Amino acid sequence: MDLQFPHHENEIAQSEGTTGETFVNLWMHNGFVRINEEKMSKSLGNFFTVREVLKQYKPEIIRFFILSSHYRSPLNYSDEQLNEAGTALKRLYNALRGCDAAESLLQPDYKSRFEQAMDDDFNTPVAFSVLFDLARELNKAKETDFDGAQVLAFTLKKLASLLGLLQDDPEDFLKNSVSQDDALTNAAIEHSIQARLDAKKAKNWALADKIRDDLKEQGVILEDSPNGQTSWCRA
Protein backbone atom coordinates (compact mmCIF):
# COMPACT_ATOMS: atom_id res chain seq x y z
CA MET A 1 0.00 0.00 0.00
CA ASP A 2 2.85 2.39 0.75
CA LEU A 3 4.18 2.02 -2.82
CA GLN A 4 1.12 3.43 -4.59
CA PHE A 5 2.80 6.83 -4.88
CA PRO A 6 5.28 7.59 -6.26
CA HIS A 7 6.79 4.15 -6.90
CA HIS A 8 3.99 2.56 -8.90
CA GLU A 9 3.18 5.73 -10.81
CA ASN A 10 6.82 5.78 -11.91
CA GLU A 11 6.65 2.13 -12.92
CA ILE A 12 3.58 2.80 -15.05
CA ALA A 13 5.14 5.90 -16.65
CA GLN A 14 8.41 4.12 -17.46
CA SER A 15 6.73 1.02 -18.87
CA GLU A 16 4.20 2.90 -20.99
CA GLY A 17 6.82 5.42 -22.12
CA THR A 18 9.09 2.59 -23.28
CA THR A 19 6.52 0.37 -24.97
CA GLY A 20 3.79 2.78 -26.01
CA GLU A 21 1.31 0.23 -24.63
CA THR A 22 -1.06 0.20 -21.68
CA PHE A 23 0.82 -1.29 -18.73
CA VAL A 24 -2.07 -3.15 -17.08
CA ASN A 25 -5.84 -2.79 -17.06
CA LEU A 26 -6.10 -3.24 -13.30
CA TRP A 27 -3.47 -2.92 -10.56
CA MET A 28 -4.60 -4.04 -7.12
CA HIS A 29 -2.55 -3.03 -4.10
CA ASN A 30 -2.42 -5.56 -1.30
CA GLY A 31 -2.14 -4.80 2.39
CA PHE A 32 1.08 -5.24 4.31
CA VAL A 33 2.44 -8.71 4.97
CA ARG A 34 3.16 -8.92 8.69
CA ILE A 35 5.21 -11.33 10.78
CA ASN A 36 4.60 -11.23 14.52
CA GLU A 37 2.59 -8.04 13.97
CA GLU A 38 5.57 -6.30 12.32
CA LYS A 39 5.65 -5.28 8.68
CA MET A 40 7.77 -7.67 6.64
CA SER A 41 10.68 -5.82 5.08
CA LYS A 42 14.28 -6.30 4.04
CA SER A 43 15.37 -3.57 6.43
CA LEU A 44 13.98 -5.49 9.41
CA GLY A 45 15.44 -8.76 8.16
CA ASN A 46 12.17 -10.58 8.79
CA PHE A 47 11.34 -11.43 5.19
CA PHE A 48 11.14 -14.71 3.30
CA THR A 49 10.77 -15.70 -0.33
CA VAL A 50 8.04 -17.75 -1.96
CA ARG A 51 10.73 -20.21 -3.03
CA GLU A 52 11.56 -20.86 0.62
CA VAL A 53 7.94 -21.35 1.63
CA LEU A 54 7.38 -23.77 -1.28
CA LYS A 55 9.83 -26.16 0.33
CA GLN A 56 7.31 -26.67 3.14
CA TYR A 57 3.90 -26.03 1.60
CA LYS A 58 2.16 -26.82 -1.66
CA PRO A 59 1.60 -23.80 -3.94
CA GLU A 60 -2.17 -24.17 -3.66
CA ILE A 61 -2.02 -23.94 0.14
CA ILE A 62 -0.07 -20.69 -0.11
CA ARG A 63 -2.60 -19.33 -2.60
CA PHE A 64 -5.46 -20.34 -0.32
CA PHE A 65 -3.77 -18.65 2.65
CA ILE A 66 -3.31 -15.37 0.76
CA LEU A 67 -6.86 -15.33 -0.60
CA SER A 68 -8.39 -16.10 2.78
CA SER A 69 -7.86 -12.43 3.70
CA HIS A 70 -9.23 -9.49 1.73
CA TYR A 71 -6.51 -8.17 -0.50
CA ARG A 72 -6.66 -4.70 1.07
CA SER A 73 -6.22 -6.09 4.59
CA PRO A 74 -2.93 -6.84 6.34
CA LEU A 75 -1.81 -10.44 5.93
CA ASN A 76 -0.33 -11.99 9.06
CA TYR A 77 2.06 -14.76 8.13
CA SER A 78 2.80 -17.72 10.38
CA ASP A 79 3.31 -21.46 9.99
CA GLU A 80 0.22 -21.96 12.14
CA GLN A 81 -1.95 -20.01 9.70
CA LEU A 82 -0.50 -21.84 6.72
CA ASN A 83 -1.23 -25.14 8.44
CA GLU A 84 -4.80 -24.00 9.05
CA ALA A 85 -5.07 -23.04 5.38
CA GLY A 86 -3.90 -26.52 4.43
CA THR A 87 -6.49 -28.13 6.70
CA ALA A 88 -9.27 -25.97 5.26
CA LEU A 89 -8.24 -26.72 1.68
CA LYS A 90 -8.28 -30.45 2.45
CA ARG A 91 -11.91 -30.11 3.55
CA LEU A 92 -12.79 -28.89 0.05
CA TYR A 93 -10.78 -31.65 -1.61
CA ASN A 94 -12.41 -34.23 0.66
CA ALA A 95 -15.80 -33.07 -0.56
CA LEU A 96 -14.73 -33.76 -4.15
CA ARG A 97 -13.20 -37.10 -3.23
CA GLY A 98 -14.91 -40.03 -4.93
CA CYS A 99 -17.37 -37.74 -6.68
CA ASP A 100 -17.98 -37.32 -10.38
CA ALA A 101 -17.24 -33.70 -11.28
CA ALA A 102 -18.06 -34.13 -14.96
CA GLU A 103 -19.10 -30.95 -16.76
CA SER A 104 -22.69 -29.93 -16.15
CA LEU A 105 -24.72 -26.81 -15.47
CA LEU A 106 -23.59 -24.66 -12.56
CA GLN A 107 -25.84 -24.63 -9.51
CA PRO A 108 -27.42 -21.16 -9.94
CA ASP A 109 -27.74 -20.08 -6.30
CA TYR A 110 -24.10 -20.76 -5.46
CA LYS A 111 -22.93 -19.25 -8.75
CA SER A 112 -24.88 -16.07 -7.98
CA ARG A 113 -23.57 -15.83 -4.41
CA PHE A 114 -19.98 -16.39 -5.55
CA GLU A 115 -20.18 -13.77 -8.29
CA GLN A 116 -21.77 -11.29 -5.89
CA ALA A 117 -18.88 -11.75 -3.46
CA MET A 118 -16.25 -11.32 -6.17
CA ASP A 119 -18.02 -8.26 -7.58
CA ASP A 120 -17.86 -6.74 -4.09
CA ASP A 121 -14.27 -5.49 -4.41
CA PHE A 122 -12.84 -9.00 -4.92
CA ASN A 123 -14.14 -10.22 -1.56
CA THR A 124 -12.41 -13.59 -1.52
CA PRO A 125 -13.19 -14.41 2.17
CA VAL A 126 -16.92 -14.27 1.41
CA ALA A 127 -16.35 -16.24 -1.81
CA PHE A 128 -14.59 -18.88 0.30
CA SER A 129 -17.65 -19.13 2.56
CA VAL A 130 -19.72 -19.97 -0.54
CA LEU A 131 -17.27 -22.75 -1.46
CA PHE A 132 -17.50 -24.26 2.02
CA ASP A 133 -21.30 -24.10 1.96
CA LEU A 134 -21.13 -25.91 -1.38
CA ALA A 135 -18.81 -28.55 0.08
CA ARG A 136 -21.15 -29.20 3.01
CA GLU A 137 -24.12 -29.71 0.70
CA LEU A 138 -22.02 -31.89 -1.59
CA ASN A 139 -21.01 -34.15 1.29
CA LYS A 140 -24.69 -34.72 2.08
CA ALA A 141 -25.68 -35.26 -1.55
CA LYS A 142 -22.97 -37.83 -2.29
CA GLU A 143 -24.80 -40.46 -0.26
CA THR A 144 -28.32 -39.89 -1.59
CA ASP A 145 -28.42 -37.87 -4.82
CA PHE A 146 -25.90 -38.82 -7.53
CA ASP A 147 -27.13 -36.31 -10.13
CA GLY A 148 -27.34 -33.52 -7.59
CA ALA A 149 -23.88 -34.36 -6.30
CA GLN A 150 -22.46 -34.16 -9.81
CA VAL A 151 -23.86 -30.66 -10.29
CA LEU A 152 -22.55 -29.54 -6.91
CA ALA A 153 -19.12 -31.09 -7.51
CA PHE A 154 -18.79 -29.42 -10.91
CA THR A 155 -19.94 -26.10 -9.46
CA LEU A 156 -17.45 -26.33 -6.60
CA LYS A 157 -14.57 -27.19 -8.91
CA LYS A 158 -15.53 -24.55 -11.49
CA LEU A 159 -15.98 -21.68 -9.04
CA ALA A 160 -12.80 -22.59 -7.17
CA SER A 161 -10.90 -22.64 -10.49
CA LEU A 162 -11.56 -18.90 -10.82
CA LEU A 163 -9.26 -18.53 -7.79
CA GLY A 164 -6.77 -21.12 -9.01
CA LEU A 165 -7.96 -23.72 -6.48
CA LEU A 166 -9.12 -27.36 -6.53
CA GLN A 167 -7.47 -28.11 -9.89
CA ASP A 168 -5.49 -31.10 -8.61
CA ASP A 169 -6.85 -34.63 -8.45
CA PRO A 170 -8.30 -35.03 -4.92
CA GLU A 171 -6.49 -38.32 -4.29
CA ASP A 172 -3.15 -36.89 -5.44
CA PHE A 173 -3.55 -33.75 -3.34
CA LEU A 174 -4.61 -35.58 -0.18
CA LYS A 175 -2.08 -38.40 -0.39
CA ASN A 176 1.05 -36.65 -1.63
CA SER A 177 3.09 -34.16 0.38
CA VAL A 178 5.60 -31.54 -0.70
CA SER A 179 8.53 -33.71 0.33
CA GLN A 180 9.55 -36.35 -2.17
CA ASP A 181 11.48 -38.38 0.42
CA ASP A 182 8.73 -39.25 2.90
CA ALA A 183 9.84 -42.15 5.06
CA LEU A 184 6.33 -43.57 4.86
CA THR A 185 5.44 -44.34 1.25
CA ASN A 186 1.90 -44.57 -0.11
CA ALA A 187 2.39 -48.30 -0.61
CA ALA A 188 3.43 -48.74 3.02
CA ILE A 189 0.36 -46.80 4.15
CA GLU A 190 -1.95 -48.98 2.06
CA HIS A 191 -0.27 -52.07 3.52
CA SER A 192 -0.88 -50.82 7.06
CA ILE A 193 -4.51 -50.03 6.25
CA GLN A 194 -5.03 -53.58 4.95
CA ALA A 195 -3.40 -54.96 8.10
CA ARG A 196 -5.82 -52.85 10.16
CA LEU A 197 -8.80 -54.15 8.17
CA ASP A 198 -7.59 -57.72 8.75
CA ALA A 199 -7.24 -57.01 12.47
CA LYS A 200 -10.79 -55.62 12.62
CA LYS A 201 -12.15 -58.72 10.84
CA ALA A 202 -10.37 -60.84 13.45
CA LYS A 203 -11.90 -58.60 16.16
CA ASN A 204 -8.41 -57.66 17.29
CA TRP A 205 -9.48 -54.13 18.16
CA ALA A 206 -6.31 -53.33 20.12
CA LEU A 207 -4.11 -54.01 17.09
CA ALA A 208 -6.46 -52.09 14.79
CA ASP A 209 -6.34 -49.08 17.12
CA LYS A 210 -2.55 -49.31 17.39
CA ILE A 211 -2.13 -49.27 13.60
CA ARG A 212 -4.43 -46.25 13.34
CA ASP A 213 -2.55 -44.42 16.13
CA ASP A 214 0.86 -45.29 14.66
CA LEU A 215 -0.18 -43.87 11.29
CA LYS A 216 -1.54 -40.74 12.95
CA GLU A 217 1.80 -40.17 14.69
CA GLN A 218 3.44 -40.30 11.27
CA GLY A 219 1.05 -37.72 9.85
CA VAL A 220 -1.49 -40.02 8.19
CA ILE A 221 -5.18 -39.59 9.03
CA LEU A 222 -7.62 -42.47 8.45
CA GLU A 223 -11.34 -42.06 7.85
CA ASP A 224 -13.72 -45.03 7.97
CA SER A 225 -16.91 -44.88 5.91
CA PRO A 226 -20.20 -46.59 6.81
CA ASN A 227 -19.66 -49.14 4.00
CA GLY A 228 -16.45 -50.39 5.60
CA GLN A 229 -14.04 -48.60 3.28
CA THR A 230 -11.08 -46.64 4.67
CA SER A 231 -9.72 -43.50 3.03
CA TRP A 232 -6.65 -41.59 4.14
CA CYS A 233 -4.75 -38.38 3.69
CA ARG A 234 -1.53 -36.86 4.93
CA ALA A 235 -1.97 -34.34 7.73
Q: What is the DSSP letter of 145?
A: -
pTM: 0.79
Q: Which fold does the domain 52-65+76-175 belong to in CATH? A: Four Helix Bundle (Hemerythrin (Met), subunit A) (1.20.120)
CA dihedral of residues 143, 146, 147, 149 (deg, nearest 10): 50
Please give the pLDDT value at position 89.
Answer: 96
Tens of pLDDT along 12-47? 999 999 999 999 888 888 888 888 778 887 788 888
- Is the distance from CB of 33 to CB of 77 less than 8 angstroms? yes
- Is the distance from CB of 138 to CB of 92 less than 8 angstroms? no
Has residue 78 got a pLDDT over 60? Answer: yes
Q: What is the DSSP letter of 4?
A: I
Strands (E), 27-185: 33-35, 38-39, 75-77
What does the alpha-carbon distance between residue 53 and residue 108 come to, in Å, rounded to a whole number? 37
Please give the pLDDT value at position 61.
Answer: 95
Counting Cα atoms < 13 Å in the Cβ hemisphere of 116 gives 9
Mean pLDDT of 104-108: 90
